Amino acid sequence: FEACLNALESAHMSSKDIDMIIVGTVTPDHPFPSTACILQKKLAIKGFGAFDISAGCPGWIYASDIARQYIENGSAENVMVVGADILTKITNFDDRGTCVLFGDAAGAVIMSRAERKDISLVIDSEIVADGSYYDILVQPAGGSRMPASEETVRKNLHTIYMEGNKVFKLAVKSMETACESVMQRNGFDIKSIDWLITHQANLRIIESLGNKLKVDPHKVIINIEKYANTSAATIPVALDEAVRDGKIRRGDVVLMSSFGAGLTSGSLLIRY
């Protein structure tokens, strides 16, 4: 909710201008209703579509891809796109291999239909999934397959389970592929990119992707040292900070990419 208010202020809009809300999250307030509907009530607006998507850490990328298409087909004008996760609620603090990695955050943007004279635009986006790896990054219990019980709580099955080494290798490869795909499809090379914002999972993954893409390290936005891995919130938070700090300026080409549970991945190429 606070992230949405900040986005509205930055865009010089009121909540009445919004005609769709999409939230990417794996830690919703409830299994149902959606967090987007709760946000709709908090913002005192109604009468349009509001829904969540569960795509792991690329949740905001997935939500942006969906919002883009609603706007392009004329079904929406101003979409509130949110990435929000409270991973410390589902962290196993007895597992030192994972509990030091995660944090909590929310980030929001308003994606709007542009006038022809506007320089800003979404150039392209791509979302991908490979369900054959679904079980290497998972919250085992809490769904209909394994409902809550005394045993699931005792065994910490409501917390994050991750096979870190496998996830690391797949993360770098999937994000590299997603980035190369949108660049090649639109006639860009890495030298055409002003800024790269990758999912803030850990510094090794960020640096590995940068090396694979052969991007200038000074063009890579990094803030993981402040917030840790905040899942779907990492990219919108990093984007917001980079804009507010004056790094990303009007007309800059920004490439964003993320990966996560599913395994999912995606990329978003914009001119800010």
Catalytic residues: 57, 199, 229
| Six token digits for residue 59 | 């949740």
DSSP letters along 201-260, please?
S-HHHHHHHHHHHT--GGGEE--HHHH-B-GGGHHHHHHHHHHHTTSS-TT-EEEEEEEE
Whether residue 33 is preceded by a cis peptide bond, meaning omega within 30 degrees of 0, is yes
Instruction: Taking each helix axis as running N to C, give the angle between helix 164-185 and helix 203-213, from 0 to 180 degrees, rounded to the nearest 10.
Output: 40
CA–CA gap between residue 146 and residue 204 (Å, rounded) = 34
3-state secondary structure of 265: strand
CA–CA gap between residue 233 and residue 40 (Å, rounded) = 19
Instruction: Taking each helix axis as running N to C, give the angle between helix 59-72 and helix 234-244, from 0 to 180 degrees, rounded to the nearest 10.
Output: 70
Strand order in the sheet with 253-260: 121-129, 264-271, 253-260, 195-198, 220-221
Cα dihedral across residues 160, 104, 236, 189: positive or negative: negative
Which residues pair with residue 196 across a beta bridge?
Answer: 220, 255
3-state secondary structure of 141: coil
